[in-house]
Structure 1
Amino acid sequence: MATVAELRSAFENRMKEGIPNPPGEFHSLDLERVKDDKYLNRILIHVDNDLKQASDMLWDIMLWRKTVGANDINETTVRLDYVKEGTFFPRGRDVDGSLLLIVKAKMHVKGQKVFEDIKKVIIYWLDRIEREENGKKVTLFFDMEGCGLGNMDMELIKYLISMFKLYYPYFLNYIVIYQMPWVLSAAFKVVKSLLPAKAVEKMKFCTKDNLKDVVAPEQALLCWGGKDAYQFEFIPENRTAEHNQKKVTFAEQGDGHSPGEMLRLNPHDTIIFKNDNDEISGQFTITNMDENAVSFKIRTTSPEKFRVRPSSGMLPSGSTQTVIIVVQPGFQLRSVTKDRFLVMSVQIPKTDLTTKELADVWQNSTGSKVDEYRLKCQFPDKDITNGTVLDGKSLEKHDSVTNALNNLQSNYEFLHRDVKRLKIFQFLTLFMTAVAVVLGYLVYLNSSQANGSYCERL
């Protein structure tokens, strides 16, 4: 069985033979991947431990990344208007804990956008997710609800699949096709033919009725019948040009820690709040990933709404701090969901600084020396109403109202579908009636002409 050391050695030997030009020398960040055992092991697993295939795949990945400039694709070089419209975005997790990369197919119409720019958007999201998830698998979620033939772009689908097949090893968990219209069934048979047998096994065709088998209701969006009220909002990645140039390996990263950043936050972008004994609270951990000690501060858009403990502190290298956040009584949770938290950090020479010394460090720090991390808030749906933080009885009443509204929504959807079917039947009936009338009229004309000829002969 092939080993990581053998794969690394094969790559280094190939490097000595020379790199084609174009594309020229490999990017320094990509060369760091070769030093990471975890990344090389992903390639070996991807090709069933075939050393020759693994060596070829690693080489092809390096050539491709240099050719497309993958490491230079960021918020300043990608079509940000394409990103912000929300055709592609990560949200929620499947039953295995893998992040969902959602493709809102109805928002894409073939030929309306520059395809090369769409490719860059896809690379942007895949690279960002690979960093933020530390190489853990992702599920490709095609939301096909409301799609028609104009939304079906086989070239785009082939490109997405090729990314996971050729350039992002052992990165795909499932391919979920949600609410696929019957008119697109033939197209997805072609998609199946593009996939290896293992990938075909990963395809899951889901409807609202069985989505819970792949994505739990708590992780599913409201439009899928789930409980997540999230609306896509683009938030830039926590990376700077300086961080991009710092050489670190994938092994040095963790959840929520991008290359070169001081801190690792877990969870990395969203604080999950829970209702415990009539108190709404959430927490996250901060780990110092820097070689030096750091000082951190936590700020929020609405400090009067939250109790944060601790709101600042100092961390030696490698140490972790848990931060507890409690919603103050009397505030409406619907407004609290819009709030954000900012974690700032700066290097310090030691952890026993006086208050004045620490204040001087922050005052003399320029923007390039301060790391910033942004966190959103997520609350259980049952705890969000037009009122304030709820007690137990109010929650029971709210649950019953929510269930009634959900039933009403379901009945409305059934009625809406029935009305659509009825309209189709009415159209077909009118069409068949019109055809019958035309045919009858033609028969009548033929009959009249025949009778006229007969009378003339008489």
Structure 2
Amino acid sequence: MATPADVRALFEARLKETSPPPDFHPLDLERAKDEKYLKRVLQHTDKDAKEAANMLWDICVWRKSVGANDINESNIRLDYVKEGLFFTHGRDVDGSLLFIFKAKMHIKGQKDYEDIKRILIYWFDRAEREEGGKRVTLFLDMEGSGLSNMDMELVKYLITLFKLYYPYFLNYIVIYQMPWVLSAAFKVVKTLLPAKAVERMRFVTKDTLKDVVAPEQALVAWGGKDNYVFEFIPENRSEHTPKKVTFAEQGDGQHSPGEMLRLVPNDTIVFKTEGDEISGQFTITNMDESAVSFKIRTTAPEKFRVRPSSGTLASGASQTVLIVVQPGIHLRTVTKDRFLVMSIQIPKTDVTPKELTQIWHSSTGSKTDEYRLKCQFPEKDIPKNGNIMEGSLLEKSDSSTSTLSNLEQNYAKLHRDLKQLKLLQFVTLTMTVLVAVLGYLLYENMVEEHRYCERM
């Protein structure tokens, strides 16, 4: 039977064999040595040591690409957080923390999707720390929601986090008070889940919620006894910046004296094909004695996904920037695009977003450093049809999108038909009342004439 030691050995062997060595975050490398965490990865991969080692590697790569360890309350949209779209509270019958998603508060397209993803990573990491890696239950509160609240991209991202990057972290998926109009959409969601996750899905109403969440743990809005009202409370943990670990020395030949940043590579981003994505990356190092803030701009923001697109760096700290070509973009249209990295000195790394905005607004050209990068796409990495995303992945994505689109169209048609039916009912009722009134008046008139004839 595979053991955590087997997973650790396979992971460390891959570290030694990889050239150039990956610049994983120190906290992730520490996690790769943690017995408890490795047991979770093994559980997630059905005790397959090789699969577990591969998953551990993919987690480190992903966390590095999104800057997961650097996400905190100072660099996420706290105004989004305080709305209470996502929060943790209460426990299920197994004692697992509830991660609650209030679906009716989310309207697709109203908020920046990348900001929402960073908030999700913040909550997932926070729950992992506070719960010591114990499993959580995803509670989808669908009461009062409709098709305008159904965001397939967001749901797929939630599933991806549990499926690929947070091992053995999901207890149940609870879908509370799901409107019938969303039934078809959740059939699509089921196809995206592994068989084990489908088995953990629970569709509940106010009457059946007690089977998954005890009344004492359920909110009053769900028919429970807990009168909790969400209020964001910052995480209580001591913040520290660990020393950056590197696996290959990089010379200073690419940095000019007096410049704030060193970029590696310093003038060209080399893109490569990895699976169904074409991506490139570069590393920013703060060579200044003070902390700096940086921003990254491109001549074609609609063609690229840049993460992170901005941030802060303490003196001597580094940040790897990942750039992914958006699906469906033809490579011949991006070869001439450029990237601009701008930097400015700041008093400390934990400035608030509002303070950071003011610093940038008050800066002048003499206080800002700028670095320009061009793109290089090797000929062998360009797909024959010029598209980044093709094959079964594209077909699956298109199929899900098409299904939801058809559902939305059918819902809109049904809504129109219902309005017409209501109008028809109103007209019919009005005509019935008019006929009744006319009939009564006619009857009264005939009775009156009859009485008149009798008197004559």
Instruction: Map Cα deviations across residues 186-223 of structure 1 (whole Å, 9 max, x no partner).
Output: 00000111111110000000000000000000000000
- TM-aligned CA deviation for residue 163 of structure 1: 0.3
- TM-aligned CA deviation for residue 427 of structure 1: 7.2
For the 8 Å contact 2:91–2:97, the answer to whether it is kept is yes
2:16 maps to a residue whose letter is K
For the 8 Å contact 2:26–2:243, the answer to whether it is kept is no
Instruction: Map Cα deviations across residues 44-89 of structure 1 (whole Å, 9 max, x no partner).
Output: 0101011221111000000000110000000001111111111000
For the 8 Å contact 1:139–1:176, the answer to whether it is kept is yes
Unaligned runs of 5+ in 2: 245-416, 432-456
1:21-420 matched pairs, under 5 angstroms: 24-242=22-240, 245=242
Q: Give the secondary-structure state (helix, strand or coil) at the position aligned to 1:219.
A: coil
For the 8 Å contact 1:19–1:25, the answer to whether it is kept is no
1:174 maps to a residue whose letter is Y
Aligned match of 1:335: none
Q: Mark the CA change 1:19 to 1:147 in structure 2 (over 3 Å): closer, same or farther.
A: farther
**CA distance in 2: counterparts of 1:19 and 1:208, whole angstroms:** 56
Higher relative contact order (CA 8 A, sep 6+): 2
Identity %: 70
Q: Mark the CA change 1:217 to 1:17 in structure 2 (over 3 Å): closer, same or farther.
A: same
Q: Mark the CA change 1:40 to 1:95 in structure 2 (over 3 Å): closer, same or farther.
A: same
**CA distance in 2: counterparts of 1:234 and 1:20, whole angstroms:** 42
2:134 maps to a residue whose letter is K
**CA distance in 1: counterparts of 2:80 and 2:20, whole angstroms:** 33
Instruction: Map Cα deviations across residues 324-348 of structure 1 (whole Å, 9 max, x no partner).
Output: xxxxxxxxxxxxxxxxxxxxxxxxx
Q: Mark the CA change 1:203 to 1:236 in structure 2 (over 3 Å): closer, same or farther.
A: same
Aligned match of 2:278: none
- TM-aligned CA deviation for residue 431 of structure 1: 1.9
**CA distance in 2: counterparts of 1:188 and 1:197, whole angstroms:** 15
**How many residues matched?**
259
- TM-aligned CA deviation for residue 98 of structure 1: 0.1
**CA distance in 2: counterparts of 1:433 and 1:142, whole angstroms:** 38
2:227 maps to a residue whose letter is A
**CA distance in 1: counterparts of 2:68 and 2:204, whole angstroms:** 33
**CA distance in 2: counterparts of 1:432 and 1:131, whole angstroms:** 58
**CA distance in 2: counterparts of 1:124 and 1:25, whole angstroms:** 22
2:87 maps to a residue whose letter is F
- TM, length-normalised to structure 1: 0.54
For the 8 Å contact 2:84–2:102, the answer to whether it is kept is yes
For the 8 Å contact 2:96–2:137, the answer to whether it is kept is yes
**CA distance in 2: counterparts of 1:34 and 1:171, whole angstroms:** 16
* Most deviating of 24-33 and 426-435: 426-435
- TM-aligned CA deviation for residue 430 of structure 1: 3.8
Q: Mark the CA change 1:123 to 1:426 in structure 2 (over 3 Å): closer, same or farther.
A: closer
